[in-house]
Amino acid sequence: MSEYEPQRIEAKWQNVWREQGAFRADRDPARPKYYLLEMLPYPSGTLHMGHMRNYTIGDAVARYKRMRGFNVLHPIGWDSFGLPAENAAIKNNIPPRQWTNSNIAQMKATCERFGFSYDWRREVSTCEPEYYRWNQWFFLRMLERGLAYRKKSKVNWCPQCQTVLANEQVVDGCCWRHETTQVEAKDIEQWFLRITAYSDALLDDMKELGEGWPERVLVMQRNWVGKSKGARVKFPVAKMEGKAIEVFTTRIDTIYGATAVILSPEHPLVPELIHGIPGSGAIEAQWNRLRQKILRPAELAKAEKEGIFTGRFAVNPFSGEMTPIWVANFVLADYGTGAVMCVPAHDQRDFEFAEKYRLPIKIVVQPLQGAALKKDQLNEAYTDYGRAVDSAKYSGLESAKAIEKMTADAEAKGIGKGETTYRLKDWGISRQRYWGTPIPVVYCEKCGIVPVPDDELPVKLPESVALTGEGQSPLAGVPEFVNASCPKCKGRARRETDTMDTFVDSSWYFYRYTDAHNDRAPFGAEEARYWFPIDQYIGGIEHAILHLIYSRFFAKVMHDLGLIEHREPVKRLFSQGMVQKGGRAMSKSHGNVVGADEMAQKYGCDTARMYTLFAAPPEKDLEWSEQGIEGCARFLNKVHRLVERYAEKLRGVEANPSAKIDLASATAKEKVLLRKAHQTLKRVTNDLEARWHFNSSVALIMELVNEIHAQEPLDEGARPEIAKRVLELLVLMLAPIVPHMSEELWETLGHSGGLGKVSWPAYREDLAKEEQFEVVIQINGRLRGKLLVDDGLTEDETRERALSEPRVTQLLKGHAILKTIVVPKKLVNIVVR
C-alpha cells in the first residue's frame, strides 16, 4: 500500500496533461462551448493564496464543465504594462521588460504547479507588441469616429521631480518620493475616449445582465453612470444685457422657492459678474480664496459650505423676482451647468447654506398627506414630492405633473429645456509614463495631429530608456522615438510621448484569447462568434466599476465597428471574496501573505485547492487557517488510504456502472452505500451546476467518506462491483476539486487513460431515494417524538401512527386536539388546547 505523496503525483499528472495537451480547446461547432474566464492578473511577482482562490474556483468549474461534455475555453494571460515595473526599474535599475517577464515566468510556474487547466497556447501578455499593436488599432478606429479626442485636463504635478504623478504616486496630497512636497494640479492636453457616447447603452443593456451579474455590481455601475433627468433654466443677469446664468435642476417645480442662484467658483462668468461692482476688490479676494481651496477635492467633500455674494442679481424667469447671485464652494464646476438655483426649503444643501448666510426660505411644496410645513418650524429641507403651493398658476399641481408642465412651458418660452445629465465622464487615457502602449499619433508642424497609418503599427515602445522618475515624460527624452516624419506630408513631426492607461489593455483582452496569434486583426470574427459571450467571468469586486465598465464600452464600440454581433461580452459575473490572514486582506505591505508555492510544497496543491473551496462560500471573505488546511490534508490522506485499502482486490473487477445496478437484488450494505453515494452526487451536481456552494459540496463528500468508512469492511456484505462503483463515484466527484489525486486514484482503481475522457456520473433518483423516513412529531410546534415510516405511507396513516405513539398519547391526555398538520415524510404537528 503506497503513501499519499502529493508532490510526486502532482508532478506526474501535470506531465501527463502537458503531453496530452489535455486542456486545449479549439472551435468545434458540433459541441456546446463554455467560455470560462478569470480576470487577467498583473504580474507583480509571487502569487499568494488570495490570488489562487480566484483560479481555483475557476478551475473547479472548468474541469466540471469538461466532464459535462462542454468544449471549455479556459485561458490566462498577463496584464503586464503598468507603473510597478517602472518603479522597480527606478529602484533596482532593472529594465521594466526584464522585471515583468521574470515575474511572469515565476507566476506561470506557480499556476502550472497548481495544475490549473489552462490552454497555454492562448497565453497573452499585454506588453508585447503583437498585443498592444491592437490597442493602437482600436485607438485609431475610435479617432476616426470621433470617439477619441484631445482636451486639456488636470494632472498631478510634483514641482520637485518636475514630473507628472499617477494617482497612486500621490500620498496624502504629496509626492511619493518627496513626502513634504505638495502635489499641484496642472492643466495639460490629453487624450480621451468618449465613453459618454454610450451612457444610455451602458445603462439600457444592463437589462441583459440582470440574471447573471451580482446586484451590487449593477448598482455601482448604475450610480457611476449617474443618469438624472431634469431641466436647464436660464436666469438673466440684471443690468447685464444678454447675459444669463443657466442652472440645471431636477426639481424645476420648486423654482418659485429659489432665493438665490449659486455658481461654482470656477464658473467662467464669475469674473465678469464681479467686475464693476462697488467693493469688487474685496469680493474678488474672497473669490480667489474659494478658488484656491478647489484644488483639494478629497477635503472638499467634507468641507463646510462657504460662499460669497457677488453683488449682482438674476431674474427668476418664472416669478420675475430678483434673486441674488452667489458663488459657493459646494457647487461643482463639472456637473450640470456649474450653477444651481438655491431652494432652501426643498434641498438639504441649499437649506444648510441658507441657514448659514441667512437667505430667505420659501416653501413651495407641501406634503400630500399630514400636517402642512411651516416656515419657522423647518429643521431640514422637505425634499419629497408633494403639491405645489405659492407657485402662481402651477399651485395645486402634484410635483411630477408640475415638473412636466413647467419644463414644457420653459421650452415654449425659450427660457429653458428638459435635459438629462450624467455623472459619467469621458475616459482620460493619456499617461505620462513609459511602460505602456504608445499612443499612435504624431504632431506635424504643418498638418497638426496625424494618426499613424495602420500599416505602420505597432508604434513600438523603445526598449532601452533611462528611467529616473524625474523630468518630463520618459519617452520625451528619447530622440529616436520622438522625432518622426509626418505620414501625410513627410515633413518633420513630433511623436506623441504619452502612453495609454493600462485599463485599455484589459478592456478587450478576452477577445484576443479566442485568436491569440492573429497578425491581421485583433481577432477573427468566426472565433469570436463561436466563443462569445463569456459564459462565466470570475474576479475580484475591486473591478466592479472601472474594468467592467470599460470593457462593456469597448464591446459596444466593437459592435458598432462590425467586429462582433453581441452587445455585452460577459453573460455571468462572479465576484469571489478576499482571502485574509489576521482579519486583513493578504498583501505584501501587511506582511500576512501565505505563498502559493509554499503551500504546494508543504501540503500539495490539491490540499490547498480543497481548503480554499471548503473554508468559506466562494463569494465571502475567507480567513486563512493553518489548522483548517491541515484538516483538509488529513481528509485527503484518509481518502487515499480508503481507496488503497481495496485497490488490490478491486483492480481486476469490472465495476457495475450506476445505470445497470439492480436495487432489488442489493444487500443492505450495498443499499446504504449506493444511497449515500447517489444522494451526495445529486447534491454535489446541483452545487456545481447552479449554486456554487463548493464549501458544502466538499462537506457532502466528507460525509460520504464517513459513511463508507462506517460500512467497512467493504469486502464483506457488499459485492466487489458495487463497492468499486461507490469508490469510483467518490473519486469522480473529487475530480474538479483535487484533480491530481483523483487521477491517481482512478488509476489505482485499475483504469488507464486518465480522467480526460470520463464523464461526470449521472445520479439515479431511485438509488438516492430513502426507503424510510424519520417523521418528526410535534405538539404545538415542540418536538415530542420521532417516527420511522416507510415510503408511500399516506397522510392519514402517518397521522394515525403519530397519534398512537405511546409517548404522544401520554402527553395528549387531558388536551383537546384542535388540528393536526401532516407534511408527508417530514413531520406531524398536533395542535392542542
**Nearest CA-CA partner of 552 in 822, 817, 205, 818:** 205
State yes or no: residue 752 binds RNA (CB under 7 A): no
For the CB of residue 417, give the shortest distance to RNA in the complex, in Å: 14
Q: Which is nearer to RNA, 142 or 822 (CB)?
A: 822
Contact 619, 74 (CB under 8 A): no
**Subset of residues 328 to 387 that bind RNA, contact rule: CB under 7 A:** 329-332, 335-336, 338, 340-341, 347, 349
754 binds RNA (CB under 7 A): no
683 to 702: interface string for RNA, x by CB under 7 A? x--x------x-xx-xx--x
Q: Which is nearer to RNA, 554 or 614 (CB)?
A: 614
Binding residues for RNA restricted to 724-743, rule: CB under 7 A: none
> Exactly one of 305, 559, 566, 764 binds RNA (CB under 7 A); which one?
305
Q: How far is the CB of 575 from RNA (least distance, A)?
A: 10
Alpha-carbon distance of 398 to 400, in angstroms, equals: 6
With binding defined as CB under 7 A, does residue 294 bind RNA?
A: no
Nearest to 127, CA basis, from 98, 93, 163, 168:
98
Alpha-carbon distance values, 757 to 22, 688, 740, 745, 751 (Å)? 10, 19, 15, 15, 11
Q: Which is nearer to RNA, 102 or 794 (CB)?
A: 794
Does residue 783 bind RNA (CB under 7 A)?
A: yes
**CA-to-CA distance for 336 and 247, rounded, in angstroms?**
8
Q: Nearer Cβ to RNA, position 317 or 336?
A: 336
Spell out a b/e string for 466-483, using b for 16 or more CB atoms within 10 Å of the CB, else e: ebebeeebbbbbbeebbe
* Closest approach of RNA to the CB of residue 759, in Å: 23
Q: Please select the residue that binds RNA; options are 205, 266, 321, 623, rule is CB under 7 A.
A: 623
Binders of RNA in range 38-67 (CB under 7 A)? none
Closer to RNA at the Cβ: 57 or 563?
Answer: 57
**Does 781 interact with RNA (rule: CB under 7 A)?**
yes
Cβ closer to RNA: 460 or 641? 641
> Which residues, 232 to 271, sit near RNA by CB under 7 A?
248-251, 264
Q: Which is nearer to RNA, 35 or 330 (CB)?
A: 330
Among the listed residues 33, 417, 423, 799, the single contact to RNA using CB under 7 A:
423
Using CB under 7 A as the binding rule, whether residue 616 contacts RNA is answered as yes
Cβ 392 to RNA shortest distance, Å: 20
What DSSP character marks residue 598? H
- Contacts to RNA from residues 536-555, by CB under 7 A: 541, 545
Residue owning grid cell 443657466: 246
- Cell triple for 713: 469492511
Residues 6+ positions from 689 with CB-CB distance below 8 Å: none
Rounded to an integer, what distance in angstroms lies between the CA atom of residue 395 and that of residue 453?
63
- Pick out residues in 636-655 that bind RNA (CB under 7 A): 637-638
Stretch 792-821 residues interacting with RNA (CB under 7 A): 819, 821
Site for RNA in 430-469 (CB under 7 A): none
Q: Which is nearer to RNA, 123 or 707 (CB)?
A: 707
Which residue blocks in 93-214 are alpha helix, DSSP H? 96-113, 129-144, 199-204
Could you say which of 84, 129, 595, 631 contacts RNA (CB under 7 A)? 631
Please give the torsion angle defined by the CA atoms of residues 240, 244, 245 and 249, in that order, rounded to the nearest 10 degrees.
150
Pairing of strands 174-175, 170-171: antiparallel
CB of 555 to RNA, least distance (A): 22
- Closer of 265 and 533 to RNA (Cβ): 265
Three-state SS sequence of 622-646? EECCHHHHHHHHHHHHHHHHHHHHH
Please answer whether residues 758 and 732 qualify as being in contact, where contact means their C-beta atoms are separated by less than 8 angstroms.
yes
Q: Measured from the CB atom, is 477 or 628 closer to RNA?
A: 628
State the CB neighbour count (10 A cutoff) for residue 434.
Answer: 24
Nearest distance in Å: CB 358, RNA: 18
**Minimum separation from the CB atom of position 827 to RNA (A):** 5
Q: How many residues bind RNA (CB under 7 A)?
A: 79
| Least distance in angstroms from the C-beta of 775 to RNA | 8
DSSP sequence for 440-455: -EEEETTTEEEEPPGG
User: What are the φ/ψ torsions at residue 273 (nearest 5 degrees)?
Assistant: -65, -40
- Which of 213/510 has CB closer to RNA? 213
**Pseudo-torsion of CA 13, 16, 21, 22, nearest 10°?**
-50
Name which position in 196, 286, 421, 587 contacts RNA (CB under 7 A). 421
Which of 153/696 has CB closer to RNA? 696
The helix (H) or strand (E) run that includes residue 833 is none
Site string for RNA, 210-229 (x = CB under 7 A): -----xx--xx--x--x-x-
Q: Which listed range, 403-411, 484-492, 724-732, 822-830, lies at the site for RNA (CB under 7 A)?
A: 822-830
Spatial CA neighbour of 515 closest among 504, 503, 531: 531
Nearer to RNA, 476 or 699 (CB): 699
Kindly tell me which of 659 and 690 has the beta carbon lying closer to RNA: 690
Stretch of 236-244, 403-411, 654-662, 775-783 lying at the interface with RNA (CB under 7 A): 775-783
Tell whether residue 829 is a contact of RNA (CB under 7 A). Answer: yes
Q: Is 630 in the site for RNA (CB under 7 A)?
A: yes
Are 620 and 650 in contact, with CB atoms under 8 Å apart? Answer: no
Minimum separation from the CB atom of position 627 to RNA (A) = 3
Given a contact cutoff of 8 angstroms between Cβ atoms, the answer to whether 167 and 298 are in contact is: no
When asked if residue 758 is in the footprint of RNA (CB under 7 A), the reply is no
Look up residue 312 and give its three cell numbers: 449682482
> Residue 250, by phi and psi: left (phi above 0), alpha (psi -120 to 50) or beta?
alpha
DSSP labels, 40-94? PPP--S--BHHHHHHHHHHHHHHHHHHHTT-EEE---EE---SHHHHHHHHHH--
Q: Is 107 exposed, middle or buried (0-12, 13-18, 19+ CB in 10 A)?
A: buried
